[in-house]
Structure 1
């Protein structure tokens, strides 16, 4: 009998499991993957997310990967350029964008060091229910080996946008909006280590420095263009960069592409009900939005901390736990709703007048406006 079973061992799941174990709970964390691989991700961690890593004493390991600190941002919209530095948040100033094949194992190790039992290569086939309450999971090896039954007072679904946990509990969708963009990106060598975003009507480009001297170069397109561009995503990406950020395209000519092109046309926008009897959803399982503002990792950290703060020492008492989960659901919506609406505004890729803010949610204490 575990106190908590966490389904999913990536950003949201590993963070939640680590924090619960540090609070003294017996935690099992399962994940269907045997090996941690890179995930489809814009990589960027906002300062509030970096501040969480700092609080959890995990930031030094992230810095040790050689991921460069991102201490300035430049946003170009037509003839206007905004250049600024982020304000200090929670004792940190820099943002970071580490590769997920490096970041996720750091969080998994921190969870295991805290006492979490980590079981990779274990696919959750179903949930256990008693009197309408989730009381555990049925897991089996991805290779089809014998099924195991594990019980817990709480099951945490941290298994992504297509969450099995959410499907099994039939979590209602509270809010849903249409897809607005599709995105393609790759990694390039020998670009300036600058965090930059560029916008024009119907177009968006970003460069995000990451590990090993590589830079993620991403291009966003209206969702309606997805069928036309998916057949030759590299050409679409390069053409978009040429139109929207010609200086970046010129820099790319002097470097080289390091990987194939990644991308998706499935950028869903929704909130699911976050909790119910014996279950709760964190990360993309309960809430997902367009990646154009790169909020996914930071929001996952926020939800992990919020859930653990709400649960406190009340997990052993079913009534107290029910109250805590309802409080988490309410506070999650309050914490994330504003960013959800601002993200959808960006994702519409519409023309706008001169802006006085920069994207990616940075708080700016210095600003240079160049016309």
Structure 2
């Protein structure tokens, strides 16, 4: 095993494995590290809209993912207070399928795909504790392997693909550019025997200030997530003492009469309920001398809008493309950093701000509810409305169409 590489990637899940694959295609030598061993799970609602499936297909992993028998879906049903919007996501370049595949399947398949590429070395069970510095430039990592032995590896670039609480980001002292705290607690679990009416698909609800979301997923299960205000101390205490009972009581109380309540009544919680009490929607500086960030490490946004998986794929592909465009990284860190930051923000910032709207514990405005009711009353607005989420439409495009209806 080598001690020196072109790139060391810390974090081997979606963002890290994708980046390793993309770099290997361009001839770089990569060391891909993760403190976990695979297959293993992580807190996630793990949804891909159809635009992301095109990227997975380009990587050569889509067929393998579909072999897990995870169902695809095309439909979405949104209930925001008294507005109900039910339809299909618009196609993107001929692709209509969306996929919500469990991380136990997804991450393992992507990791093995990366491992099979020429020039990629994978090390599981390795925890990074320090960055190697040469002057003011990051030049490698120091950490412990699964046997507890201290090891050091060097590279031209160290990339943090290690998630929302990135160690690489902290060790590199990346500047936080935006931080928008949420007022919500978030809980996620898997349901068996959950039944949907008609065509399967995404369900997304906001009722009485609380959110709930359901996706069909792998292993004949549905992934269920709910968010409620953290200042609702009674509900928070109930979830902390008995999360499953808390879920059922919350749905019966605040989502009464919905198809969600009906589906949950006959379902069972299949595995342990996972919770997250507060988090920040954030943007960090994504690159400096000898280091970079990708995935949730650079940008984390509210999980209700289902963009994190797409953003990890997009960011990994973008970073690999930018790096491949420069032969001399050491003399170009500032230029590379500016290009990477600008392109990430250009693509992702509008959805980031959309997610921040859902993170704030305030009622929908009358203007927002008027838009949702307008979409409900005009079926031709449903594809562009859903198209905001899969990049088939930009928010400005949808707003222009909505204004025409009002004029």
Same fold (TM over 0.5): yes
Counterpart for residue 6 of structure 1: 9
In the aligned structure 2, how far is the partner of 1:263 from the partner of 1:240? 15
- Whole-angstrom CA distance in 2 between matches of 1:180 and 1:45: 26
Aligned to 2:222: 215
Distance 1:222 1:241, change over 3 A: same
Q: In the aligned structure 1, how far is the partner of 2:231 from the partner of 2:19?
A: 36
Q: 1:202 aligns with which of 193, 197, 209?
A: 209
What is the 5 A alignment of 1:205-354?
205-225=212-232, 227-228=236-237, 229-242=239-252, 243-244=254-255, 246-320=258-332, 322-348=334-360, 350-352=363-365, 353-354=369-370
Q: 1:74 to 1:10 in 2, by over 3 A?
A: same
Distance across 2 between alignment mates of 1:338 and 1:205: 23
Mark the CA change 1:324 to 1:362 in structure 2 (over 3 Å): closer, same or farther: closer
Aligned-pair distance for 1:360?
7.9
| Paired residues for 1:87-166 under 5 Å | 87-115=90-118, 116-145=120-149, 147-166=150-169
The CA deviation at 1:143 is: 4.5
Is the 8 Å Cα contact of residues 75 and 359 (structure 1) preserved in structure 2?
A: no
- The 3-state SS of whatever aligns with 1:176 is strand
CA deviation map 1:115-162 (0-9, x unaligned): 2100001111111111210011112124422x1111111111111111
Q: 1:294 touches 1:360 (CA, 8 Å); kept in 2?
A: no
C-alpha contact (below 8 Å) 2:14/2:313 kept by paired residues:
yes
Match of 1:25 in 2: 28
Q: Match of 1:182?
A: 185
Give distance in 2, aligned partners of 1:107 and 1:330.
Answer: 27
State the 1:35 CA deviation. 3.0
Say if 1:138 and 1:264 are closer, same or farther in 2 by CA, change over 3 A.
same
In 1, are the aligned partners of 2:188 and 2:226 still within 8 Å (CA)? yes
Is contact 1:36–1:104 with CA below 8 Å preserved after alignment?
Answer: yes
Q: Which moved more, 1:306-315 or 1:161-170?
A: 306-315
Q: Between Structure 1 and Structure 2, how many residues are aligned?
A: 364
- Note if contact 2:192-2:221 (Cα within 8 Å) is conserved in structure 1: yes
How far is 1:105 from its partner? 0.9
Counterpart contact for 1:65–1:102, Cα < 8 Å: yes
Give the root-mean-square deviation of aligned CA atoms: 2.0
* 115-124 or 90-99: bigger deviation: 90-99
> Which of residues 167, 170, 174 is equivalent to 1:171?
174
- Partners of 1:73 and 1:19 in 2: how far apart? 32
Q: Distance in 2 between matches of 1:276 and 1:320?
A: 10
Shift of 1:358: 4.7
Q: CA deviation at 1:198?
A: 1.4
Match of 1:318, SS state, is coil
Moved more, 327-336 or 99-108: 327-336
Specify which structure has the bigger relative contact order, considering alpha-carbon pairs within 8 angstroms and separated by 6 or more residues.
Answer: 1
**Structure 2 residue 65 is the aligned partner of structure 1 residue 62:** yes
- Other structure's SS at 2:223 match: strand
CA deviations on 1:248-274 (whole Å, 9 max, x unpaired) are 222233232211211211332111111
In 2, the alpha carbon distance for the partners of 1:292 and 1:68 equals 20
User: Take 1:264 and 1:225, find their aligned partners in 2: how far apart are those partners?
Assistant: 15
Please tell me whether residue 48 in structure 1 is matched to residue 51 in structure 2. yes
> Residues of 1 paired with 2:391 and 2:35: CA distance?
38
Contact 2:181–2:278 (CA under 8 A) maintained in structure 1? no
TM-score norm. by structure 1 comes to 0.92
Residues of 1 paired with 2:282 and 2:80: CA distance?
28
Contact persistence 1:219–1:241 (CA under 8 A): no
Mapped to 1, the partners of 2:329 and 2:391 lie a distance apart of 41
> Aligned-pair distance for 1:359?
9.3
